[in-house]
Chain A
Amino acid sequence: MNRIDYLFQTKKERILSIYVTAGFPNLEDTLPMMEAIQAAGADIIEIGLPYSDPIADGPTIQESNTIALENGMSIKKLFSQLLGFRAKIHLPVVLMGYLNPIIQYGVENFCKKCKELGIDGLILPDLPMSHYLEEYKELFERYGLFNIFLISPQTSEKRIREVDEHSNGFIYMVSSHAITGAKAEISPEQEQYFERVAAMNLSNPRLIGFGISDAATFQLASRYSQGAIIGSAFIKSIKNSNDSNADINAFIQGVIG
């Protein structure tokens, strides 16, 4: 069974997924970060594949992408860092990135490598449903990779149902009209949207992301879904850290309490 499905079957609420950019803040930080995130009590690890033009990301993640690229991060490098990581990491691991670097790596090789290493799913914001279904679904399925779809407050009910039909693992609910890292308060309109989607009785669980940053927003997101995804706030907390293990632990414990 895919580790993501196993997680959602065994834990029904307050699931926390933490996003960290590969090779950030230093090139060799990827695996130590993952270990620290797991040790601190998160449920899913999302590893960002840095890209020169991340159009769905706000300033914090953009900057972490730039730094990671300057550090020399690439898909090849990441795969070499991840060799054997399953000896240490049992949490589900999802790669989040943009399509172009994956196309250049070779999509089939990429999928194959993900399977060999023990990656569970992919979040590719610039791979919309129609292109996924036509060009990629078969490959992803052949290598056991879950494709995680995004929905936003603008997504129509009809399309949410379509997304639900084609999703596996979970649905990534973008919390607002926003790129990652947008401001941390949650408005009444956003709550209405959370409520509306919660009431749809979708077959897939949902995690809420973008703008989730602390215990309060995590708590709120968890009221309407199975949990949340934190990226920018986490990146900020490790950016200038002198003791990342301690800071990661403090951040994640601070969120899940």
Chain B
Amino acid sequence: MMIQVDEKGFYGNFGGAYIPEMLYPNVEELRENWEAIVASPTYQEEFQSLLKDFVGRPTPLYFAARLSESFGAKIYLKREDLCHTGAHKVNNTVGQIILAKKLGKKRIIAETGAGQHGVATATVCALMGMDCTIYMGELDIKRQRPNVERMRILGAKVVPAISGSKTLKDATNEAMRAWIADPVGTHYIIGSVVGPHPYPEMVARFQSVISEEIKWQLKAKEGRENPDLVIACVGGGSNAAGAFYHYYNESKVRLIAVEAAGHGIHSGKSAATSVLGTPGILHGSKTLLMQTEDGQVVEPHSISAGLDYPGIGPVHAHLHEIGRAEFVGVEDEDAMKAGILLSRTEGIIPAIETAHAIHALNQIEFNANDLIVINLSGRGDKDLETYIHWGNY
């Protein structure tokens, strides 16, 4: 059971490129060129050097002794929170900005929810001296003030998405519209493993450095490349895709995808797409998405803005359909508690997205002394406001 994208961009029944003709030339240009460009020595030289000296890779694979003790397993944390800008998102933006430059693009656009991907994009645009416009839901702009200001300090223009529900999916719509309006000079840096082919695979490839490193780091520390379980949270699914990538076809490694269950999976305020979603088309690919009976996209809820998305990347829809990954839904309250737990046992305040992955330890079964890797996708600085507002610590 190989997990692989086919030439039309499908992972099993999910994927493809359902885009307006106006976007066809842009997406086609990318599809035809990205792999060759990324494989070229000049690209690789620049990419590897930036990952090392700008992002700070390799990120540590850290043995969490006290956490391990309390769960009776051997738990390692893959420290993506130590990446420059505080999350895994920058692996992808570094990869795409070099690609955009090689394609001769002058201007970058991106969508953002919590602002993490927006900040990571604004950062690499500043690095490369490229013009940068970030689309962000008007509601999210109000909720995530510090990240909005970070983007502005970095020289990006932040444009509010005022249509629909004024959150991440609407910001994505606006970015797509902006791309239609300037198809020649602009590259759109999508922030997760979503969107039309080739984005899901391209973003996964840039994030796959996570599992590539886990393999040799684990080999050095434990004498084996494969853990028993890999756990990661899923919004669109980019950090999970990166952490799973080199384990997709290692069938003994359990892949645990952790979704936001909000106030409870069936509470009506949740983002647990694998349970609540049905096949449909969102932002250019066929995937599982939360929708009404009439096919209108439903607004999800999660306490963490990064998981507050009504779909999942097509690769995750496929992993779910064939049973290759186990999906777990973690509620807001439990995620917050897990954030405090990690802070107190390991001295690491995680992003609230990431805290969902930590709490999954309480909701899955594993054997004593199983070797578990949790992808620590981001740090909690951006979420201080939410921690403070929650207040239960």
B176 close to A104 (CB less than 8 A): no
B294 close to A151 (CB less than 8 A): no
Q: Interface 1/0s, chain B 281-303, versus A by CB < 8 A?
A: 11110000001011111000000
CB distance from A26 to the nearest CB of B (A): 19
Given A104-B280, A174-B21, are A130 and B8 also a contact pair (CB < 8 Å)?
yes
A69 close to B18 (CB less than 8 A): no
Instruction: Determine if B16 is an interface residue (Cβ-Cβ < 8 Å).
Output: yes
Instruction: Determine if B181 is an interface residue (Cβ-Cβ < 8 Å).
Output: yes
Question: Which residues of A3-57 are within 8 A (CB) of B?
Answer: 51-56
A154 close to B25 (CB less than 8 A): yes
Instruction: Determine if A100 is an interface residue (Cβ-Cβ < 8 Å).
Output: yes
Instruction: Determine if A144 is an interface residue (Cβ-Cβ < 8 Å).
Output: no
Contact of B295 among A59, A104, A129 (CB under 8 A): A104
Instruction: Determine if A128 is an interface residue (Cβ-Cβ < 8 Å).
Output: yes
Contact of B22 among A66, A69, A130, A154 (CB under 8 A): A154
Given A51-B296, A74-B294, A154-B184, are A56 and B164 also a contact pair (CB < 8 Å)?
no
CB distance from A74 to the nearest CB of B (A): 4
* Cα separation A131 to B183 with both chains bound (whole Å): 22
B295 close to A102 (CB less than 8 A): yes
B21 close to A101 (CB less than 8 A): no
B177 close to A58 (CB less than 8 A): yes
Question: Which residues of B178-236 are within 8 A (CB) of A?
Answer: 180-184
> What A residues does B85 contact at CB under 8 A?
none
* Cα separation A63 to B26 with both chains bound (whole Å): 27
B163, B164, B170: most-surrounded residue (chain A CB, <10 A): B163
B294 close to A76 (CB less than 8 A): yes
Instruction: Determine if A150 is an interface residue (Cβ-Cβ < 8 Å).
Output: yes
> What B residues does A174 contact at CB under 8 A?
21-22
Instruction: Determine if A232 is an interface residue (Cβ-Cβ < 8 Å).
Output: no
> What B residues does A201 contact at CB under 8 A?
none
Contact of B280 among A56, A100, A150 (CB under 8 A): A100
> What A residues does B278 contact at CB under 8 A?
104
CB distance from A132 to the nearest CB of B (A): 10
> What A residues does B163 contact at CB under 8 A?
59, 62-63, 66
CB distance from A123 to the nearest CB of B (A): 11
CB distance from A239 to the nearest CB of B (A): 16
B22 close to A126 (CB less than 8 A): no
Instruction: Determine if A177 is an interface residue (Cβ-Cβ < 8 Å).
Output: yes
Question: Which residues of A67-117 are within 8 A (CB) of B?
Answer: 69, 74-76, 98-105
> What B residues does A155 contact at CB under 8 A?
21, 24-25
A126 close to B291 (CB less than 8 A): no
Contact of A53 among B17, B22, B173 (CB under 8 A): B173
CB distance from A108 to the nearest CB of B (A): 15
B21 close to A149 (CB less than 8 A): yes
CB distance from B107 to the nearest CB of A (A): 13
A152 close to B295 (CB less than 8 A): no
* Cα separation A125 to B23 with both chains bound (whole Å): 10
Question: Which residues of B289-330 are within 8 A (CB) of A?
Answer: 291, 293-297
Q: Interface 1/0s, chain A 154-169, versus B by CB < 8 A?
A: 1110010000000000
Instruction: Determine if A178 is an interface residue (Cβ-Cβ < 8 Å).
Output: yes
> What A residues does B20 contact at CB under 8 A?
55-56, 125-126, 128, 150
Question: CB within 8 Å of A: which residues of B?
Answer: 8, 16-22, 24-26, 163-164, 169-170, 173, 176-177, 180-184, 278-284, 291, 293-297
Q: Which 9 residue pairs across A and B have the least CB separation, nearest first?
A: A104-B295, A101-B295, A150-B21, A52-B296, A74-B294, A125-B20, A154-B25, A56-B20, A152-B22
Question: CB within 8 Å of B: which residues of A?
Answer: 51-56, 58-59, 62-63, 66, 69, 74-76, 98-105, 125-131, 149-152, 154-156, 159, 174, 177-179, 182
Given contacts A53-B164, A55-B20, A101-B295, 15 further A-B contacts (CB under 8 A): A55-B177, A58-B177, A59-B163, A66-B163, A104-B278, A126-B20, A126-B284, A150-B20, A154-B22, A154-B26, A177-B22, A177-B180, A177-B181, A179-B177, A179-B181
